Structure 1
């Protein structure tokens, strides 16, 4: 019966009204002032940054998103190691094939031109194709962060564009330093080497940015990689690079 509450005594009305005592106290006044100050500060912050839907100003959002993307790339040790070692192997391969190539005649000059052409194709296309699956893997995190309204969506592609710059600086430096040093192309002076390295870096960056744009627009990364391969193939086939025949082959054709 006691468990059902039957037979228990009813409590008496309290002799003191604690709510009225709190409202008349100095503690209530201090708490109300503190709440008003917090509300004013929040309104001022929103008015200054014009971003009432986001918890931080635009500048801080951009910095944090760029740092997040940079950590994502840096912690992917296998991907970073494969990129740098792959560029070093390209430099060794190209340098050994065109080791100290001469350019005293038209055939040597053509070969040196083909070296630059192949170098640009290899590092540019490989870099663009490598970044597509990485963005595809990170897009799921971006969709979750976008739904929660953590930052302005435009900062996501900007973070990838900025985050790839140091990696391509190192990659193109490895290709130019090893391959061009062995082939003797663009290494006559430090200024010439820096100019060659800068042009290759900018070209690689632009081609990679093109791959990023396709990845952001494509619904799935597989479709982006397929579109990138088609566009690259069309671009390569339309360049019009001509490989000249040697004098011995021309003489044999004349005799025949």
Structure 2
């Protein structure tokens, strides 16, 4: 790797040799997860840990997928965030992961501006694509105008470029951004947030009459499942301490 390019892979042996659950603790004062005893350079340096994840589900009225993502700062944290992908963009988990990373970096920048000791930002993800893209491929794509070796446009180029620019801005200001690739079980909380957004979309788009009577649902397993849940009085709600608003800087355009 070019010496001028910072490594964005979290590979600290003190933590990577163990599962994240053994080394991540919750800072109740700042409402975020952080690494336990992380002071590699000086006593004022701390590392926040943000889990990101996406999930997809078959749409209510069609067999097309709908995709959402979640950003998890910690149990009951008011910073936790969930969001559906706009219907006008490709409904892929890969795009959801990129959007989640972009929003998480924006939120981390806001936290760092108020709590300077958290100048190490670690994004916990199960996506090998995201880790490789932001540590290796992004430099080549940037040099080639976001075209691959066959001169074809790179998928989700706008989102990739925006994420890269946001990370570079933080790095130039003195922060460190790292991607920690872990097993899917360790980002389960972020995926739960994504599922909450999908549940809410299902409820908002399904008429009450259809849920109760099931007359239109007949053989549709997705709507039948919804009908049964409604009749049992089950109404999925947003997880405690989650939000959808407050990230006005994120532009949901096709990538």
Bucket of the pairwise TM-score, normalised by the shorter protein: under 0.3
- TM-score of the aligned structures, taking structure 2 as reference length: 0.25
Which structure has greater strand proportion? Answer: 2
- TM-score of the aligned structures, taking structure 1 as reference length: 0.25
Which structure has greater helix proportion? Answer: 1
Larger Rg over CA atoms: 1
